[in-house]
Structure 1
Amino acid sequence: MFPSAAASPLRTLAAGQALAEKNSNRVEGKGTPAQAWALIGDFCGIKAWHPAIASCELSEKDGSKLRTLTTKDGGKFVEKLVKWDDQNTSYTYQILESPLPVENYVSTIKVEEDDEPGKVAITWSSTFDPKGVKPEAARKAVADVYLAGLLALKAKLKGK
C-alpha cells in the first residue's frame, strides 16, 4: 500500500517552499556593447534613460552602495548594488523598498554583442516573490518597468 500524498515528505517540502518568480526581457539595438554600457554602466545613470525615473541619489550604508530612485509620479525605490562587472558589462542589484508588488527581488542588467553585426543586446532579468498579488500580476508589473526602460535604451542607441 502506498502512503497518501498528504503524508508524503516530498509533498510537504514542496508545499512549504514556493519557487521564486522570474522575469527576463531583452532588446536588440544598433551600436556596440561599449556604447550601450556607456548609457547603462553608471548605477545612477538610470535617470538618464528610463522614462519613469525623475531622479536618482547615491548613498552608502554599511559599506554597500545604494541608489534611491524617485519616479515621475512620486514613487520611491531603494536599491542596493550587489555586484558590478565592468568587464562583462553587467550589474546586479536588490530592491530594498519599492511600490512594486514584489519582495526578495534581485535583478541583473547585462549588455552583450548581438549575433547580428553592428547590434547590441541588453537583457534585464530578475527573480522575486509576489507580494499581495497573484504571480501573473507581479510578473506584469516587473515586465512593464523593464520594457519601458529597454525600449528607451533602444531609442537612445538608435540616435548614436
Structure 2
Amino acid sequence: MASTSVSRTVPAPPERVWQLIGGFGSLPDWLPYIPSSILEDGGRLRRLGNPDGDTIVVRLVAFNEEERQYSYAIVEAPFPVTDYVSTLRVHAVSGDATVSEVQWSGRFVPTDASEADVVALFTGIYGDGLEALIKALS
C-alpha cells in the first residue's frame, strides 16, 4: 500500500476553513478542478464531475465535526488505484488563531502504474487543491 500527505498553512482560523471545506459536497466551493458535486445516498456518496468530463464517485467513511476531519473512499474514478482512502483535516496552529494547517492525505494500492507515479499524481492533486483553498480563503 502506498501513501502520500500534503499540508499547507492557510490564512484563516480553523472554524472558517472547516466551514468552507467541511461539507462533504463543498468541493466546488473551493476546488476549481471539481465544478460539480452531487450528493446521493443521504449525503454519504458524492458524484463529482471534472472539466474533462470524468466522473469520480466517493463514499464518506468517517466524519468528525469536533476534530474537523472526514475520510472518503473511491467507488469509481479514472485513477490507477484500488483500496483508496483519503482524509481531509483542519488543525489549529498553536499560538496563532488567525491561521490553520490543512492536511490532505491518502493511501492506496497502485494498479497499471508505478507506485512513484501514483504517489506523484495524488501529491500533485492534494498540493494543487490546497493552493486553491488558500486562494479561495484570500
> Normalised by the size of structure 1, how large is the TM-score?
0.82
Unpaired runs of at least 5, structure 2 = none
Q: Give the structure 2 partner of residue 119 of structure 1.
A: 99
Q: Give the structure 1 partner of residue 116 of structure 2.
A: 136
Contact 1:51/1:152 (8 A) holds in 2: yes
- Give the whole-Å Cα distance in 1 for the aligned partners of 2:43 and 2:126: 24
Aligned partner of 2:40 among 56, 59, 68: 59
Contact 1:100/1:142 (8 A) holds in 2: no
Per-residue deviation, residues 23-42 of structure 1 (Å, max 9, x unmatched)? 10001011111010011111
Contact 1:66/1:81 (8 A) holds in 2: yes
Per-residue deviation, residues 51-92 of structure 1 (Å, max 9, x unmatched)? 2112011101xx771000000111111000001110000000
Q: Give the structure 1 partner of residue 134 of structure 2.
A: 154
- Give the whole-Å Cα distance in 2 for the aligned partners of 1:41 and 1:71: 20
Contact 2:2/2:119 (8 A) holds in 1: yes
Q: 1:102 to 1:67 in 2, by over 3 A?
A: same
SS of corresponding position for 1:31? coil
Q: CA deviation at 1:116?
A: 5.2
> Normalised by the size of structure 2, how large is the TM-score?
0.94
Structure 1 moving runs of 4+ over 2 Å: none
CA RMSD of aligned residues (A): 1.3
Aligned partner of 1:73 among 43, 52, 55: 52
SS of corresponding position for 2:23? coil
Q: 1:116 to 1:150 in 2, by over 3 A?
A: farther
AA aligned to 1:73 is D
AA aligned to 1:75 is D
2:43 is the counterpart of 1:49: no
Give the aligned length.
137
2:7 is the counterpart of 1:26: yes
Unpaired runs of at least 5, structure 1 = 1-19
